[in-house]
Amino acid sequence: HVQETLIPMHLCLFISGLKGGGAERVATTLARAWATNPQISRISLVTCTTSGEPPEPLPSSINLRHLPLSRQSGNLIEAIGANFLRFRLLRGVLRDLKPDAAIAFMDEMAVLVTLAAIGTNTPVITALRTDPAQPNLQKIWRRLRVPVYRFLSDAVVVQTKAGLAQATKLFHGAKLCAIGNPLPELPDVRDWSKRERLIASAGRLIPSKGFDMLIEAFAHSRWREGGWRLRIHGEGPERLRLERLVVELGLQGVVDMPGFSKDVLERLSEATVFAFASRREGFPNALLEAAALGCACVSTDCNTGPREILDHGRLGLLVPVDDRPAMTDALNRLMDEDALRAELAGHWSEFRIHHDTATVAQRWIDLVAALTKPIERL
């Protein structure tokens, strides 16, 4: 008779910060799930900022540690010195905590943690959160990540099948797998008859999110006929440009941008339609969450992310990237066709089941267990 006994594991997560971005939300959602899992003995969460708390409090059992790693460099010498300091601090943390495995979110952090772990016997898993072929990285990090992922990372996790295909081409020989994002705890789905005639969107206000195209598409739609409004949740460097665009198009009072909101899920649940206009993505949490909240969704068909979330258009409308007329047509359809909105919004339970937090968290545990082999046969 063979008995398998799981040895509880100590996992250490490395993330840039806790300001509420997509990667940060995934990391904290997984950490909360693992904190109550008997297969996990301890969770450590390391950030590269000197302070900060997540939008929602973490369980007291999670060891939160902040490192002064986020520094601006004025020249090459300063950059080399700053990265050497980062390397030393990260290596010190790994030697101090002695985790059974480290999970590093995003490319730059993953490269640094993987290099810092050399000689520590700590397996490092890279968690990519963007399209592997279109990372928002400086040239040095683009070059470094290829050999690091191919020869040093114990595993590289992407979020979609399309991302897996891209990573296979880029990082030939790396140990790759795809694990989608988990849904956080969500409010109940609101009665559709009580929702506002509101089109919502959400994300960081940066060029790649395509909010300029979305605003223009909305301006050309039939929003006046039904009294529809557009609300964009999020903050970022594009705010002033987008606000000027709203004024130029005469949409004051119709389009609003309330900024970052801790209760964004409650706000999204008030909307009837969710529109996503990103030019590139990894796995857009906002689109997934809106669909799971019962919004009828339309999204640009980026290289990775939306197509798989919306099941190739079965669960939401897909339009080409940067195609303003196509987005306008899709918005008009969702404004005009009650039956279409109801059909698309009615898939919310399917999203919640498929992206259940416990299921996704267990897939990560299974991956770590396969790498660390925490099994004793008696």
CA distance 174 to 167: 9
Helix intervals (H) in the chain: 22-35, 76-97, 107-116, 139-151, 161-170, 211-219, 223-226, 239-248, 264-268, 285-292, 306-309, 324-336, 338-345, 348-354, 357-372
The residue assigned the tokens 């296979």 is 168
Q: Express each pLDDT in 268-327 by its tens digit.
A: 999 999 999 999 988 999 999 999 999 999 999 998 899 999 999 999 999 999 999 999
- Give the angle 211-189-25 at the CA atoms, nearest 5°: 55
> What pLDDT, on the 0 to 100 scale, is given for residue 20?
64
Q: Express each pLDDT in 88-134 by its tens digit.
A: 899 999 999 999 999 999 999 999 999 999 999 999 999 998 888 88
CA distance 272 to 195: 6
Q: What is the mean pLDDT of the chain?
A: 89
Q: Express each pLDDT in 7-51 by its tens digit.
A: 689 999 999 887 767 788 899 999 999 999 999 999 999 988 766
**Residue 178 burial (CB count, 10 A):** 17
**192 pLDDT above the threshold of 90:** no
Q: Express each pLDDT in 204-240 by its tens digit.
A: 999 999 999 999 999 999 999 999 999 999 999 999 9
Amino acid identity of residue 285, one-letter, is N
Q: Express each pLDDT in 204-213 by its tens digit.
A: 999 999 999 9
> What pLDDT, on the 0 to 100 scale, is given for residue 2?
36
**364 pLDDT above the threshold of 90:** yes
DSSP structure string for 263-294: THHHHHTT-SEEEE--SS-S--HHHHHHHHTT
198 touches 272 (CB < 8 A)? yes
> What pLDDT, on the 0 to 100 scale, is given for residue 23?
83
Q: How many CA atoms lie within 13 A of 201 on its CB side?
A: 26
CA distance 101 to 93: 13
Residue of higher predicted confidence among 373 and 359: 359
Residue of higher predicted confidence among 195 and 334: 334
pTM: 0.85
**203 pLDDT above the threshold of 70:** yes
Amino acid identity of residue 310, one-letter, is L
DSSP structure string for 126-156: EE--S-TTS----HHHHHHHHHHHHHT-SEE
182 touches 29 (CB < 8 A)? yes
Per-residue exposure over 125-155, b if at least 16 CB sit within 10 Å of its own CB, e if not: bbbbbbbbebbebeeebeebbeebbeeebbb
294 touches 190 (CB < 8 A)? yes
Q: What CA dihedral angle connects 13, 16, 20 and 22, to 10 degrees?
A: -80
Q: What CA dihedral angle connects 202, 304, 329 and 336, to 10 degrees?
A: -60
**87 pLDDT above the threshold of 90:** no
E strand or H helix at 42: strand 40-47
Q: Express each pLDDT in 139-179 by its tens digit.
A: 888 999 999 999 999 999 999 999 999 999 999 999 999 99
**Residue 82 burial (CB count, 10 A):** 15
Provide CB contacts within 8 A for 220, sequence distance 6+.
324, 325, 328
* Pick from 7, 50, 47: nearest CA to 31: 47
> What pLDDT, on the 0 to 100 scale, is given for residue 374?
45
> What pLDDT, on the 0 to 100 scale, is given for residue 378?
33
> What pLDDT, on the 0 to 100 scale, is given for residue 331?
98
